[in-house]
Amino acid sequence: MAEPEFDLFIIGAGPTGYGTFLTATACGLKTALADKGLVGQDGANNATMKMIQPGSKYVRTDLEMVRDDAVDCGLLKTIGGKLLGRQRFILPIFKNYGFPLNEPLVMGAYFDVYDRFSRIALHPPHKMLSAEEVKKLEPSLADNIWGGVSFDEWVTNPLELASACVNLGKQFGGVVMENSRVIGFRTEKTSDGLLIRSAILQERSGVTEVRARYFANTAGAWAPQIVSMIVPKHSLKLRPTKGTSMVVNKRLTDHAVILFGSSGEYLALLPEGKTTLIGPTNFDVPPEVAQNPDLLKPEFFETEYLRLTANRHLNPNFSINRNEIIRTRCGLRPQLPHEGVNPYDIIHRFGNFDHDVDGIINLISAIGGKLSLWIRMSKELTELICEKLDFPFEWRTPYVRLDGNCPTAGTVNLCTHSCSFPLDSYKKRRGLKSGRELEKAVYMTALGKRIKANLVLAKSILKSLKNSEPDFAKKEARC
């Protein structure tokens, strides 16, 4: 039997794939990355809203993920430099939002909590705005506004970010195979289980075979299909959700604007030159699309939902007509399986699935996550693979520079940033058992401070709290 050409063969060049390619090559593994299309241009990566953010919406549900995400955002800005640009966001508070989205005091407390994490991502604190300030900043918005919040997030061009990671990985000796679709595997039965010897690829020039010691399945929504080529029945389960966005041929806002739909789901308006990107949706997909993501396409009801939701909060002079939609973007998020959870409430956690349980001894699938978590996802995946290969792991990603040719650069102090809001000790000190208790305790503490500072409003706020628990996951908002 011929010796393997590579230590690691990565299938799928989305954020986890190209991130693992960079991490593994920098670590010293002889690595190849293959994708059925071009790097970063298929699947969810190409349909992303371009935001690199801890995610203010997750403050209500998963503070630990927000903290980890904030650390990654700060690190990515440090190594990414000009690949990440600062974007000012405006969150207007409309009078016809349901509680608590329509209450500036409550929203202020919410962002007091978020500030603890956004500063880790290298952002300044939020600022509360009056109705007049919101209208001055964004005259295209409707008039029924109480006030608003302004805060900053990072945005990036996902294709440029993917290209930067791959090019640096090539400098470390990695090999990239674009337009190379995996169509099968050669395996061998051993006493320990099924050993993958090689992947069979369909390229433009014909069929080729690549031998490797270990295989990483980072194919996103296509990941179950890859495993099915080896064992038809396996344990890898996903809950793919569909994200659709659209671009209209006019600039609606000067800043990014966050709006809420009729059930409390959020929607972003991002200015792009003379156009505006609007989205995303978040819907489950039918079984046939989950089984074959190539069938995915945007649908009329999705763009109509985006258009009508935006129009509900825009001045009639700025309303969007269907003929102003110039293109749509659509992708599948390879979410971890969540039972009985609304798609808008799914947490973007990630996981590495070792297929030892399926009898395959040299395959791991990485699923879940989001664009701003690719550094952490690729680190954990590469570290696990190095352990399997008995190869010393060295994490060099914090020392690279993605916006230049220098292979080493200064880095962020990860330990200091991780501990700037010590959630574990906070949870232990308060005797909190679950994550949900943690989110509620932190939020209510911040709200209490806001109320003490605004005694004139305390009576009305406490009355609202008594009748409606401040849980953003509840579907009480009405537009």
pLDDT tens-digit map of 183-238: 999 999 999 999 999 999 999 989 999 999 999 999 999 999 999 999 999 999 98
Backbone torsions φ then ψ of 42, nearest 5 degrees: -115, 160
> What's the pLDDT score for residue 451?
53
For residue 274, pLDDT over 90 is answered with: yes
Alpha-carbon span 188 to 263, nearest angstrom: 52
In which band, very low, low, confident or very high, does the pLDDT at 275 lie, cut at 50, 70 and 90? very high
> What's the pLDDT score for residue 479?
30
Residues 414-441: tens digit of each pLDDT: 333 333 445 555 455 545 555 556 556 6
In which residue are the tokens 């169509």 written?
183
Residues 122-169: tens digit of each pLDDT: 999 999 999 999 999 999 999 999 999 999 999 999 999 999 999 999
Q: What are the Cα distances from residue 275, in Å, to 185, 233, 252?
A: 45, 46, 8
Question: For the residues 39-62, what does the mean pLDDT come to?
Answer: 75
Helix (H) or strand (E) holding 383: helix 374-389
Q: What percent of the chain has pLDDT above 70?
A: 80
Other residues' Cβ atoms within 10 Å of the Cβ of residue 286 = 9
In which band, very low, low, confident or very high, does the pLDDT at 51 lie, cut at 50, 70 and 90? confident
Backbone torsions φ then ψ of 455, nearest 5 degrees: -60, -25
Candidate from 110-119, 163-172, 249-258, 400-409 with smallest mean pLDDT: 400-409
Burial class (CB in 10 A: 0-12, 13-18, 19+), 252: buried
Query: What is the pLDDT of the chain when averaged over all its residues?
Result: 84
Buried/exposed code over 182-213 (b: 16+ C-beta within 10 A; e: otherwise): beebebeeeeeebebbbbebeeeeeeeebbbb
Task: Indicate the angle between helix axes 435-453 and 104-118, nearest 10 degrees.
Answer: 120
Alpha-carbon span 230 to 152, nearest angstrom: 45
> What's the pLDDT score for residue 431?
55
Task: Please report the sign of the dihedral spanned by the C-alpha atoms of residue 45, residue 80, residue 30, residue 208.
Answer: positive
The amino acid sitting at 298 is: P
For residue 42, pLDDT over 60 is answered with: yes
> What's the pLDDT score for residue 152?
95
Q: Report the half-sphere exposure of 327 (CA within 13 A, side-chain side).
A: 6
Q: How far apart are the first and last CA of the chain?
A: 66
For the chain, the helix, strand and coil percentages under 3-state DSSP, each to the nearest 5: 40, 25, 35
Please name which of 23, 34, 27, 14 lies closest in space to residue 215, comparing C-alpha atoms.
Answer: 34
> What's the pLDDT score for residue 403?
82
> What's the pLDDT score for residue 441?
63
> What's the pLDDT score for residue 212?
97
> What's the pLDDT score for residue 344?
66
Q: Helix (H, G, I), strand (E, B), or coil: what is residue 148?
A: strand
DSSP classification of residue 260: E
Candidate from 238-247, 286-295, 452-461, 468-477 with smallest mean pLDDT: 468-477
In which residue are the tokens 């985006």 written?
306
Residues 435-456: tens digit of each pLDDT: 556 556 655 666 566 555 555 4
Q: What are the Cα distances from residue 359, in Å, to 4, 208, 261, 354, 390?
A: 21, 26, 45, 10, 20
Buried/exposed code over 231-242 (b: 16+ C-beta within 10 A; e: otherwise): beebebebbbbb
Alpha-carbon span 54 to 153, nearest angstrom: 8
For residue 474, pLDDT over 50 is answered with: no
> What's the pLDDT score for residue 438?
56
Alpha-carbon span 148 to 133, nearest angstrom: 8
In which band, very low, low, confident or very high, does the pLDDT at 464 lie, cut at 50, 70 and 90? low
Question: For the residues 451-462, what does the mean pLDDT come to?
Answer: 53
In which band, very low, low, confident or very high, does the pLDDT at 58 lie, cut at 50, 70 and 90? confident
Residues 6+ positions from 359 with CB-CB distance below 8 Å: 193, 194, 231
Alpha-carbon span 283 to 319, nearest angstrom: 24
Residues 6+ positions from 224 with CB-CB distance below 8 Å: 234, 236, 237, 238, 291
Question: For the residues 372-376, what does the mean pLDDT come to?
Answer: 90
